[in-house]
Structure 1
């Protein structure tokens, strides 16, 4: 008895490999420019930020399968916006607490 792969399984594995390679490339590029310091600091930060944004999109597309075209695209977008709000609240709250502690400890 042999097991045959369907076209959707092949496409899924191919998409994961493609996403992995893209993520690897988008990780190596900022590391290279940060390590070699071959560009000005602001340009390096811009490249790092740009690669991070593209990598988030790659992860959403290839690994989390967040597609706007699907039936559940609206729910995916709602959950994404909710998650982004929670993360922003956590980051802002943490920065506020650290700043407040710094101000009060330096008296």
Structure 2
């Protein structure tokens, strides 16, 4: 009876989730992740360098491919899935993203404020004459 429950649990795993199997399935998971990451990278370079895609849609396509690549990295390499044992990993990832957003957003806010409040260079030159 426990063997059947274990087999059902094995089929319920997400693509990047680790199972208690041997080294072969783990290496296969890493190779699938590597293949997907290389495919998404090559597609991004192809879209950026071709005229086959409508030009105003190129930034949107690259952003979509970048988000897809982040998903591949999170699932296949960081092994962050929706399982109940990954709650701490998800919280750590969310906290890291929050810190990065705060640092980048704060830096942009400070630079924008400095740009708005500082005197332009041509006015400084006129005052020195």
Q: TM-score range by the shorter chain?
A: 0.7 to 0.9
| Larger Rg, first or second structure (1 or 2) | 2
By relative contact order (CA 8 Å, sep 6+), the higher-ranking structure is: 2
Root mean square deviation of aligned Cα: 2.0
Following TM superposition, the consecutive aligned residue runs of length 4 or more in structure 1 with deviations greater than 6 angstroms are none
Distance in 2 separating the partners of 1:34 and 1:22 = 18
Structure 2 unaligned blocks of 5 or more: 1-19, 122-129
1:18-29 to 2 correspondences below 5 Å: 18-29=32-43
Q: How high is the TM-score relative to the length of structure 2? A: 0.69
Structure 1 unaligned blocks of 5 or more: 1-5
1:20-70 CA-to-partner distances (Å, cap 9, x unmatched) read: 110011111111111114323331112111111111110011100112214
Q: Which residue of 10, 16, 21 maps to 2:24?
A: 10
Paired residues, number: 101
CA contact (8 A) 1:30 1:44 kept: no
Distance in 2 separating the partners of 1:101 and 1:39 = 38
